[in-house]
Amino acid sequence: MWEKLKVSARLPFQSLWAKLIFSFLLVVLAGGLASSIIGVRMVGNTIIAEAQKKVRHDLLSAWMIYQERLSRIQDVLHLTAKRDLIIPSLFGRDTEVLRRELEKVRIEYGLDVLTIVDRKGFVLARSRPPYRAGDYQGNDELVRRALKKEMVASTEIIPQQELAKEGEELVRQAYMEFVPTPKAKDRPETKQTSGMMLKAAVPILDVNDNVLGVLYGGTLLNRNYEIVDKIKDIVFKGERYKGKDTGTATIFQWDVRISTNVKNRSGLRAIETRVARDVYDQVLENGRAWIDRAFVVDDWYIAAYEPIRNIKGEIIGILYAGTLEEPYTDLRSNVIYSFFGIAFLGLVLVLFLAYFITRSITRPIGELAKATEVIAGGDFSHEVAIQSRDEVGHLAVSFNRMTMTLKATMEELYMVNTKLQDLNRHYLEMVGFITHELNQPMGVLKGFLILLQDESLGPLASPKQKQAVSTMLRNVDALINMIQKYLQLGRIESGRMEINKTRVSVFREALAPVLEDEKKQLDMRKMEVVLENEEVFRKAEAVADPVLLRIVFSNLIGNALKYGRQGGRIWCGMRDESGECLFYIKNEGRGIPAGKLAMVFEKFARLEGELERHRRGTGLGLFNAKVIVEKHGGRIWAESEEGAWANFLFTLPKEEKRS
Amino acid sequence: MAGLAKVLVIDDEPDLVEMLRMALERHFEVIVAFNGKEGVAKAKAEKPDAIVLDIMMPEQDGFAACRELKDNPQTALTPILILTGVADYFGRTKYTKLSGMEIEAEDFISKPVDPNELVGRVTALLEKDKPSKT
């Protein structure tokens, strides 16, 4: 029954414990993985967002430093323009004095250019060798505006020839030969000769506010690292990470780095390199700020770029502030590692806990299973000792109660069974006793009745007397027959049946005596016994107890006599089959219904319609025959065609089976 | 009564003895005994021509009685017909030896006894005996 219960296990584990652990693990892994991914993403995004915010802020600070530098130039010019020496010298066109004075101011305030222009726009004096003068600067936008009394300052592109006018060194300072840069936008040019300058121009006014001239000056940004380094120092406080500056700033002239503290691989300032294509498109072409990670020279930065415009509002370059991405990515990696570390530790902890929890759950179940096995084996004294108050505890209590009930029931059953066996034994003993006791008087009765019938004791007076004696004799015979069957049963059921097997001639020792005994009965019912295959039958031998074998034949012939058709035939025969002999007793008559063929061998079996008094049997003959045949290792069965014949067949082994 | 063969019937059941006597006395001279001892004593004293001996008897059973009779030269040649009960299974006749019991009887007849058959058997025993006597 148990083998039929197939557990549809999808998990490849046999024990409840492993299944639970596996389920726990699955849940924790799924949950942990999901939360880790979400957490890592969130943390990563937050870190990057924070970095970008900081960089945006840093660019703003950079702009302030840049603008402050520009205003300082303007302030210097403004103050110089008001110097007492300048205006008279201007009036007097004393260029020598102007040149000397301006050069002092230029050097003192660290300007690259400081030039004075008359009110018509012609250069009066320059403060730098070779001190060229006389050229027209009135078409310079700043100078033009200053002549109109404006004070202006801005970043401007200065072409090479103009730089040359201000000083040959400036041409060399401004000259840039592009260094091939990965990710940069392709340009046909390979060099750049112009320069980018922080430039201011202020009008020089007399007491009546008339314009006497213009003072302009500035600082060339190319290869001038003052601003970018100041930005680095002030904004990024000079922080370093793994030997690299974390904070960097750059000034681009168009897309070329002209002033920077971003280092190339050789550790030199990466001037003459160019900006990445994405930034080029966004900032230079579209004039929008760029805040994102960017590949700067040869490292990733979180960067902010904004366009630098000249006085006319045209984009001429870019101001950049950026911070190395590596610290942030490292931070993010650390966070991720920590996350997974924590998740792993959690997993281990959960496994550990799961182990104990599942153990505490499954152990009682395991004990219960073991107890079930013990009890299934028939030991009802076993008690499950589980103290928990949960369902398993309830189960254990119920189980114990069930065991007790079972035990009580089994004991009761045992007692009842013992009682029944006693009763049965008593019954059999009684049957044995009664039949045995009946046997003797029946023998006496039968003998006297025969003597009466034969008129050995004197003639019977009337036919009625003869009739009475004959009927009595028939009934006594039936009784004796019945008694014999009960005596057989008593022997069989009490287990006292001894089987003394020997090699016997079946015909001579079993069938022939029976036929001889039943001769009178056969004659009375005008039935004929036909021996089939007689030659072989007479020689047939089997290993059997001859006395018991005779009972079998007697019962089967008796059965055929009783149920066979009056005046019909009885066929007795045998067939030699491999390893065994098959015997059969077949009679003509009503036969047996197909459904009752097996039933006829049951104890006290009676067929319906078996109503005729003189035919009523004990229901023991075939049963006794069956028990005996089976004890000999043979089989017995019945075949029949209803209304025509019934055939009883049995087998006996030819050789003793040695077991 | 001379000329009639003498048959000794030994059985503990008086009614059965009565029946057997009635069956046999039309052909033989019948003497009876009701247990083994008495039977052996009568056999020695009366010298019957044949003995009908029951197996199941008190005092001395048929086996013991038979052995004693066969051991005694006076009675050793007297043919014995054993009566066997259904209690010793069914129908033990001359075709079978009694299981486990060596018994030197000339014939067996099973209970319940058909008186005509008994007469036939006894007659047969006496006839088989005659040539050796004469």
CATH of the domain at A97: 3.30.450.20
Helix (H) or strand (E) segment spanning residue A105: helix A95-108
Of A442, A456, A513, the CB nearest to B23: A456
Chain A contacts of B95, Cβ < 8 Å? 508-509, 512-513
Give the separation between CA A122 and CA A512, rounded to whole angstroms.
166
**Shared domain check, A647 and A508:** yes
Instruction: Say what the pLDDT of residue A626 is.
Output: 92
In Å, how far is A584's CA from the nearest CA of chain B? 21
**Shared domain check, A481 and A509:** no
Give the separation between CA A645 and CA A588, rounded to whole angstroms.
4
**To which residue do tokens 């006018």 refer?**
A165
What percent of chain B has pLDDT above 90?
32
Question: On the CB side of A494, how many CA atoms lie within 13 Å of its CA?
Answer: 18
Question: On the CB side of A441, how many CA atoms lie within 13 Å of its CA?
Answer: 5
Write phi, then psi, for A192 (nearest 5 degrees).
-145, 125
In the CATH scheme, what is the code of domain B6-133? 3.40.50.2300
Task: Give the gyration radius of chain A's Cα atoms.
Answer: 65
Q: Where does a domain end: A440, A471, A497?
A: A497
pLDDT band at B10 (very low <50, low <70, confident <90, very high): very high
Of B23, B99, B114, the CB nearest to A500: B99
Residue A442 sits at the chain B interface (C-beta within 8 Å): yes
In angstroms, the Cα distances linking B125 to A42, A351, A456, B7, B105 are: 124, 101, 22, 11, 11
- Can you give the three-state secondary structure of A364-432, one letter per residue? HHHHHHHHHHHHHCCCCCCCCCCCCCCHHHHHHHHHHHHHHHHHHHHHHHHHHHHHHHHHHHHHHHHHH
CB contact under 8 A, A447 and B114: yes
- pLDDT tens track for B28-77: 999 999 988 899 999 999 999 999 998 877 777 787 888 888 888 888 88
Instruction: Say what the pLDDT of residue B92 is.
Output: 40
Residue A179 sits at the chain B interface (C-beta within 8 Å): no
**Shared domain check, A504 and A492:** no
**Shared domain check, A96 and A142:** yes
**Shared domain check, A460 and A444:** yes
Nearest to A583 by CA among A532, A548, A535: A532
Instruction: Say what the pLDDT of residue B71 is.
Output: 87
Does residue A450 belong to any structural domain of this protein?
yes
In Å, how far is A447's CA from the nearest CA of chain B? 6
**Shared domain check, A491 and A395:** yes
Inter-residue contact B17 to B33 (CB < 8 Å): no
Instruction: Say what the pLDDT of residue A2 is.
Output: 45
Q: Which of residues 532-561 of A touch B (CB under 8 A)?
A: 546-548, 550-551, 554
**Shared domain check, A512 and A412:** no
Instruction: Say what the pLDDT of residue A67 is.
Output: 94
- pLDDT tens track for A342-391: 888 888 888 888 888 888 777 777 877 888 888 778 777 777 777 777 77
Give the separation between CA A447 and CA A472, rounded to whole angstroms.
12
**Shared domain check, A532 and A418:** no
CATH number at residue A509: 3.30.565.10
pLDDT, averaged across chain B: 79
Sheet holding B50-54, edge to edge: B29-33, B6-10, B50-54, B80-84, B107-110
Residue A521 sits at the chain B interface (C-beta within 8 Å): no
Task: Using the Cα atoms of residue A100, residue A102, residue A107 and residue A111 in order, give the sign of their dihedral.
Answer: negative
Does residue A347 belong to any structural domain of this protein?
no
Of B13, B89, B95, the CB nearest to A509: B95
Question: On the CB side of B106, how many CA atoms lie within 13 Å of its CA?
Answer: 22
Question: On the CB side of A366, how many CA atoms lie within 13 Å of its CA?
Answer: 11
Mutate to test the interface with B, among A438, A454, A456 (most CBs of B within 10 A): A456
**Shared domain check, A560 and A636:** yes
CB contact under 8 A, B87 and A484: no
Whole-model pTM above 0.80? no
Q: For residue A629, what are its two tokens?
A: 């045949």
Task: Count Cβ atoms within 10 A of the Cβ of residue B58 and give its class: 0-12 exposed, 13-18 middle, 19 or more buried.
Answer: exposed
pLDDT band at B131 (very low <50, low <70, confident <90, very high): low
Does residue A88 belong to any structural domain of this protein?
yes
Does residue A64 belong to any structural domain of this protein?
no
Q: Would the ipTM clear 0.85, i.e. be above it?
A: no
**Shared domain check, A535 and A449:** no
| pLDDT above 80: residue B1 | no
Instruction: Say what the pLDDT of residue B97 is.
Output: 45
In angstroms, the Cα distances linking A383 to A377, A391, B48 are: 14, 17, 79
Nearest to A651 by CA among A546, A592, A587, A579: A579
**To which residue do tokens 């990515």 refer?**
A329
Instruction: Say what the pLDDT of residue B130 is.
Output: 60
CB contact under 8 A, A551 and B16: no
Instruction: Say what the pLDDT of residue A1 is.
Output: 41
Spans of chain A below 50 pLDDT: 1-9, 11, 611-614, 659
User: What does the DSSP assignment read for A178-219?
Assistant: PPP-TTBPP-S--EE--EEEEEEEEEEE-TT--EEEEEEEEE
In Å, how far is B133's CA from the nearest CA of chain A? 30
**Shared domain check, A620 and A530:** yes
CB contact under 8 A, B114 and A446: yes
CB contact under 8 A, A448 and B19: yes
Does residue A515 belong to any structural domain of this protein?
yes
In angstroms, the Cα distances linking A472 to A15, A480, A635 are: 78, 12, 38
Inter-residue contact A117 to A213 (CB < 8 Å): yes
Contacts of B134 (CB under 8 A, 6+ apart): none
Inter-residue contact A370 to A40 (CB < 8 Å): no
Does residue A271 belong to any structural domain of this protein?
no
**Shared domain check, A504 and A472:** no
* Contacts of range A354-359, beta carbons closer than 8 Å, 24 or more positions apart: A354/A20, A354/A21, A354/A24, A354/A25, A355/A21, A358/A16, A358/A17, A358/A20, A358/A21, A358/A24, A359/A17
Instruction: Say what the pLDDT of residue A311 is.
Output: 93
- Number of separate domains in chain A: 3
- pLDDT tens track for A194-209: 999 999 999 999 888 8
Give the separation between CA A127 and CA A114, rounded to whole angstroms.
6
Residue A582: which domain range? 499-653
Contacts of A399 (CB under 8 A, 6+ apart): A368, A371, A372, A384
Inter-residue contact A354 to A20 (CB < 8 Å): yes
Instruction: Say what the pLDDT of residue A66 is.
Output: 94
Does residue A34 belong to any structural domain of this protein?
no
CB contact under 8 A, B112 and A447: yes
Chain B contacts of A442, Cβ < 8 Å? 112
